[in-house]
Amino acid sequence: MQSTPARIGLLVVAVAVVAFVLLKNDSSDNDSDTAKSVQVLTVNNGEPVGGVKTLTYNVGDQVRFDVKLDQPEEEIHVHGYEIEQPAEHGPVTFSFPAKLDGEFEVEVHRLDGTDAPIAELHVNP
């Protein structure tokens, strides 16, 4: 039979281990949420793989997405926000605050002077 101080010590250690495990799991969940928030758009031969994607955010959110390219293009353009990034090689990374609500087209501007939609950015009020 253990003494009362030994039982209390064992209980404190058990509580500390449980707290550590729970906090560690919460931390890793937050890391995976952050990873999920960056969407990836893939462009092959100037066209979106899997069709035009919908990216949905709320005003005040940080819009984050990457565009992977199989070949050089002129640029990727987010209409409405008027953000353009050179697309000579990928990935092309976008990160900006969602300040305007509405629906905005994201296009690849090809080297041949044509363009194609690759995503619809929906920003809720």
The token pair that represents 4 in the structure block? 């009362």
Strands 75-78 and 102-109: antiparallel
pLDDT (tens digit, 9 = 90+) per residue, 59-109? 999 999 999 999 999 999 999 999 999 999 889 999 999 999 999 999 999
pLDDT (tens digit, 9 = 90+) per residue, 4-55? 555 544 444 443 433 443 334 444 444 434 444 799 999 999 999 999 999 9
Q: Whole-prediction pTM value?
A: 0.70
**pLDDT value of residue 90:** 84
**DSSP one-letter string for 41-94:** EEEETTEETTS-EEEEEETTSEEEEEEEESS--SEEEETTTTEEEE-SSS-EEE
